[in-house]
Amino acid sequence: MADRHSSLRAYLAGALAARTGDDMAGPALLLAALALTGSATGASSLLAAVTVSAAVGGPVLGALLDRTARPGRLLAGALLLYAAGLAVILGGLGRFPFAVTLLVAVVAGLLGPALSGGWTAQLPRVVPGERLPRANALDAMTFGVVGLAGPALAGGVAEASGAPTAVVVAAVLIGAAAPAAWRLPAPAKSAATSRPAPLTGLVASGVRAVLGSPPLARATLTSVLSCAAQGLMPDRWPTGPCRARSWWRRGRRPSPHRPSSRSARPTDPPDRPAPPPALRGCLADPA
């Protein structure tokens, strides 16, 4: 029993770390791209590349986890590769052609589902059946916690130490969950040694299972729509000031229709303060 409690604690700690890093990664990448490239369009494209590819990679990664004899080790490898992908994206911003960085984001995003459903699918092997409802409730709570904490942590770190540091922290949190994933229990030998079904068949059977159950299909559609709305928010908030950079600059430059003398403009508003560190690259004057 003590081993079961310890396994659940390790599972929840790993899930919290990985999912916090994942929820940090999107806003942190967006802010880093704004700060290092100054392009709101490029930053939005980078976030879209990571997010859309995760939707594509989810079914495939889930099928691979079902086929392997040690899904925890596959999960740990996916976490490390995802963290490495974030580091490569950060290193490429402003140094590599943006198309190359965007391609890396697409590949890294394919591994994103390892941080959500990939973890949850392992829970029945961590706790016995009678304790599974409580364990599922605790696991579900981690999504709510990191959904609030992740973006807030990304913004706080970006403001305090710069947006690139926020990406580094997200990658470290994701990588730190790999040992917990590596130690996840393996499936029963009977399941592990049975002949695996074709990968395409597993994906198709999952789609049929969702569409064949009206309550499950409705719940899935509701989740997809709500997650789509949540995905829009971290893109709109930081890029809004960038799309309004001309408004910011107009307040800091003399107007051609007014005298340039400060004494001749007593009603002019005072200069606006400097932009926050996370957005200085976006709001900076072009060279």
Q: What is the pTM of this model?
A: 0.71
**261 class by beta-carbon count within 10 Å (0-12 exposed, 13-18 middle, 19+ buried):** exposed
Is the pLDDT confidence value at 63 over 80? no
Is the pLDDT confidence value at 184 over 80? yes
Q: What are phi and psi of 252, to 5 degrees?
A: -115, 5
- Picking from 172, 265, 209, the residue whose alpha carbon sits closest to that of residue 62 is 209
Reported as a single tens digit per residue, the pLDDT across 116-137 is 777 888 888 888 878 888 888 9
Q: What pLDDT does 83 receive?
A: 94
Q: What pLDDT does 87 receive?
A: 94
Residues 287 and 281: their CA atoms lie apart, in Å, by: 11
Is the pLDDT confidence value at 285 over 50? no
Q: What pLDDT does 179 receive?
A: 92
Q: What pLDDT does 203 receive?
A: 63
What proportion of the chain, given as a percentage, has pLDDT over 90? 21
Q: What pLDDT does 193 receive?
A: 46
- The mean predicted confidence, pLDDT, of the chain is 75
Rounded to an integer, the average pLDDT of 43-65 is: 81
Query: Which comes out higher in pLDDT, residue 64 or 6?
Result: 64
Taking the CA atoms of 59, 65, 68 and 74 in sequence, report the sign of the dihedral they define. positive
Range among 46-50, 217-221, 243-247, 271-275 with highest mean pLDDT value: 46-50
CB 67 within 8 A of CB 199: yes
The residue type at 235: D
Write out the DSSP string of 102-114. Answer: HHHHHHHHTTGGG
Vertex 177, ends 176 and 180: CA angle to 5°? 125
Residues 84 and 157: their CA atoms lie apart, in Å, by: 20
Write out the DSSP string of 137-204. Answer: HHHHHHHHHHHHHHHHHHHHHHHHH-HHHHHHHHHHHHHHTHHHHHTSPPPPHHHHHSPPPPHHHHHH
Vertex 240, ends 163 and 151: CA angle to 5°? 45
Helix, strand, coil shares of the chain as percentages rounded to 5?
80, 0, 20
Name the architecture of domain 2-186+197-243: Up-down Bundle (1.20)
To which residue do tokens 């590349």 refer? Answer: 49
Is the pLDDT confidence value at 192 over 50? no
Reported as a single tens digit per residue, the pLDDT across 217-264 is 777 677 666 655 555 555 455 544 444 444 444 444 444 444 444 444
Write out the DSSP string of 212-237. Answer: T-HHHHHHHHHHHHHHHHHHHHHHHH
Which of 71-85, 193-207, 226-240 has the lowest average pLDDT?
A: 226-240
**Number of residues written out for the chain:** 287
**236 class by beta-carbon count within 10 Å (0-12 exposed, 13-18 middle, 19+ buried):** exposed
Q: What pLDDT does 243 receive?
A: 45
Going by the DSSP 8-state scheme, the letter that residue 279 receives in this structure is G
Q: What pLDDT does 103 receive?
A: 93
Is the pLDDT confidence value at 61 over 70? yes
Reported as a single tens digit per residue, the pLDDT across 6-27 is 788 888 999 899 999 988 998 9
What is each CA distance from 195 to 59, 67, 171, in whole angstroms? 20, 9, 36
**Quick one: residue 261, left, alpha or beta (phi over 0 = left, psi -120 to 50 = alpha)?**
beta
Which of 93-97, 166-170, 226-230, 274-278 has the lowest average pLDDT?
A: 274-278
Q: What pLDDT does 287 receive?
A: 43
* CA 257 and chain centroid, separation: 47
Q: What pLDDT does 194 receive?
A: 53
